[in-house]
């Protein structure tokens, strides 16, 4: 339940009511400081921690895309063979080839990104 405070019109217009706010006691500050010192308080987050957290945040999405890649590749390869059956051999082989390249690329994409992150870290440290 909120407490209602009433100020006179003169206090309100002069801004004196702002100065009447209750200040916390120094004992509370000491308790807060002791708690912060006891539990380690806040620590700065390094760029390495941030990068690792961002990479780990995308792990479910990467797993999802890699999981969807197999059925999509299967359908594309099937479509490529259907094109070959219909007499469009070059389009069918092209579809099969690019489906296979795409599938392999999706499987290697996280490793390629990890290599790029390591290269970026090496460039920053130099």
State how far the Cα of 73 lies from the Cα of 93, in Å rounded to an integer. Answer: 14
Task: Label residue 95 exposed, middle or buried (CB < 10 Å: 0-12, 13-18, 19+).
Answer: buried
Model confidence pLDDT, tens digit, residues 14-73: 777 667 655 555 555 555 555 544 555 555 656 667 777 888 888 899 889 999 999 999
pTM score: 0.55
The continuous run of DSSP H or E covering 30 comes out as helix 26-38
Listed by start position, the domains of the chain span: 47-125
């Amino acid at each position: 339940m909120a407490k209602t405070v009433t100020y006179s019109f003169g206090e309100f217009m002069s801004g004196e009511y702002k100065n009447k706010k209750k200040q916390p006691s120094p004992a509370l500050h000491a308790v807060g400081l002791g708690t912060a010192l006891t539990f380690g308080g806040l620590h700065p987050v390094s760029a390495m921690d941030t990068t690792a957290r961002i990479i780990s945040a995308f792990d479910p999405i990467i797993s999802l895309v890699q999981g969807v890649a197999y059925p999509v590749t299967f359908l594309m390869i099937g479509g490529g063979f259907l094109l070959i059956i219909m007499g469009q051999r070059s389009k069918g082989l092209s579809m099969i080839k690019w489906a296979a390249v795409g599938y392999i690329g999706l499987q290697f994409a996280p490793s390629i990104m990890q290599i790029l992150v390591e290269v970026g870290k090496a460039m920053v440290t130099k």
